Amino acid sequence: MSNRVTRREFVATGVAAGMVAAATPLFSEAPSVVVPKAPRPVVISSANGNRYKNGGPRTCVEEAFERIVRGEDVLDALIAGVNILELDPEEDGVGFGGLPNADGVVQLDSSCMHGPKRRAGAVAALEGVRTPSLVAKAVMELTDHHLLVGEGAQSFARNLGFKIEDDLNTEHSRKLWLEWKRRTDPKHYLDPVERAAAGYRAGLEMVAEGLIDAQHFWGTINCDGVNAKGDLCGVTTTSGLAWKIAGRVGDSPILGAGLYVDNDVGAAGSTGRGEANLYNVASYLIVENLRRGLHPKDAGIDALRRIKANTVEKRLLNSRGNPDFGLTFYILSKSGEYAGVSMYNAYEGKLAQFAVCTDKGPETLQCEGLLGEAPAE
């Protein structure tokens, strides 16, 4: 990633000062010069990465940052961070206790990407393993493949010694599922189209009533990091859309959508409506925007604009004709510049936020929204 500075700053910082032609007047309004900025360690994630500790001393971003600074492999550090959320029964959008699908079964998706090794791995619709991110990493390291799904992913995990559990529901996630069932299936199933629409409506109602955190209806963690050498990695892990049709896979395990890393340029990942992201392969688009020299914020806002323009189906639009869903990207450049960008500044009454950890410590910050606050409808 590069940094634009004026010629005056270029000279003042002494960077390659000898390269400046003697004939160039030092204080003229000269065009920008692009110089590489030294990388600095940074970890960025969705806001839940600075919320849950699973009874331990640190949040995800703190844990990952500390490990990166200690010299641990960046991907190992990030995965140790997201494991905190995967194992936390109170985080009901990720791993153990994630909200189940329409059949009451917790199915998990995850992907990871190692920038320097230029390798990636993923699992989708995986049942019975609390830490799908570790299985995604095993796919990356131990197979010639990228993505294992369903029973195949589970038997791969079993063969590697991962504990397979019958049920990853907690009392809490099961109770919410039963409530959703009660609302959507009063007289047994309606026709499938009606039923899917009713299911989605009931889920949103439960968000509006405060039974489910909006972030958990979609709930995921994406976490990306860079070390002082500029090595970039990323991981995304999720229980996906709450009450989804069994077998539905969102953007999280799909490279270019829920996650993309290019070690020369930067990393991006997402949370929110996976289908809208998949249609636009937006994490890839964002990384390509970084390659063109855009700041992470501009790179992300450009992708959100594309997604907005490609959202034309009436059922996905609100009364103002804008996308009727939340979607957020977490973006990190090779030099450690970062941004959280979101379709809305606030969605379902909640501010769009992201988490970051630098040498200043962990922070939860406001995302840059393409649109203002989503209208309550």
List, by residue number, the catalytic residues. 220
**Residue 156 C-beta: closest distance to ligand ASP, Å:** 21
- Subset of 109-138 contacting ligand ASP (CB under 6 A): none
Size of the residue set binding ligand ASP (CB under 6 A): 12
The answer to whether residue 220 forms part of the interface with ligand ASP (CB under 6 A) is: yes
Site track 180-219 with ligand ASP (rule: CB under 6 A), x = hit = --------------------------------------xx
What b/e readout covers 256-291, taking b as 16+ CB neighbours within 10 angstroms? bbbbbbbbebbbbbbbbbbebbbebbbbbbbbbbbe
Query: Is 322 one of the binding residues for ligand ASP (CB under 6 A)?
Result: no
Q: How far is CA 28 from the centre of its chain?
A: 43
- Applying CB under 6 A, among 84, 223, 241, 254 the residue interacting with ligand ASP is 241
Of the residues 251, 302, 337, 368, which one makes contact with ligand ASP according to CB under 6 A: 251
Query: Contact between 98 and ligand ASP (CB under 6 A)?
Result: no
CB closer to ligand ASP out of 221 and 294: 221
Q: Least distance from C-beta 233 to ligand ASP, angstroms?
A: 19
CB of 55 to ligand ASP, least distance (A): 24
Choice from 98, 272, 336, 362 touching ligand ASP (CB under 6 A) = 272
**C-beta of 219 vs 230, nearer to ligand ASP:** 219
The residues near 321 (Cβ < 8 Å, ≥ 6 apart) are: none
Half-sphere exposure of 334 (CA within 13 A, CB side): 22
Binding ligand ASP by CB under 6 A: which of 89, 250, 296, 336?
A: 250
Q: Give the whole-angstrom CA distance, residue 354 versus residue 329.
A: 9
Query: Does residue 274 belong to the site contacting ligand ASP (CB under 6 A)?
Result: yes
Are 154 and 132 a contacting pair, CB within 8 Å? no
Minimum Å distance from CB 328 to ligand ASP? 8
Which token pair is 187? 């007289």
Classify the C-alpha dihedral 349-271-291-75 as positive or negative.
positive
Q: How far is the CB of 141 from ligand ASP (least distance, A)?
A: 24
Q: Does 85 bind ligand ASP (CB under 6 A)?
A: no
For the chain, the C-alpha Rg in angstroms (whole number) is: 21
Q: Binding residues for ligand ASP, per CB under 6 A?
A: 218-220, 238, 240-241, 250-252, 271-272, 274
